[in-house]
Homo-oligomer: A and B are copies of this chain.
Amino acid sequence: MTGYITETDRCDCDTIHEEVVAQVREKMPEDEDMLNLADLFKVFSDSTRVKIISALQHSEMCVCDIAVLLGMTKSAISHQLRALRQSKLVKNRKEGKVVYYSLDDDHVGTILEQGLIHVRE
């Protein structure tokens, strides 16, 4: 014991392969990138949101349409659309009482389809 804070103190174990750890640390993406990455995938981690995005890939739709399509309440859909709006993945336009939603990001479809390929094999 040195009395100073060591690598061991910060963790409940010793480093077994210090060089590997050092090298991997250099090659890994920025911490912030990985946080953003997790947040992006978090959007796709709920089946309701996946369904909404899948639907909007084929056509602009109003809240009510989506609710009927998925057999859920307008409220539930509206809450999720809010999340998708905040993630800048969907946009909306108002026409009288009706609010139409559509995708606002080209990558969205790509990411979803990439996942579909993986899931289906």
A→B interface (CB under 8 Å)? 7, 10-17, 20-21, 23-25, 27-29, 33-38, 40-42, 44-47, 49-51, 54-55, 58-59, 61-62, 64-65, 67-69, 71-75, 98, 107, 110-112, 114-120
> Are B115 and A74 in contact, with the CB atoms below 8 A?
no
For the complex, would chain A's binding face be called helix, strand, loop or mixed by DSSP majority? helix
> Are A38 and B17 in contact, with the CB atoms below 8 A?
no
Question: For residue A73, which residues in chain B have a CB less than 8 angstroms away from its CB?
Answer: 11-12
A117 to chain B, nearest CB (A): 8
Give Cα A120–Cα B34 distance, bound, in whole angstroms.
Answer: 10
For A38, give its contact among B36, B50, B114, B118 (CB under 8 Å): B50
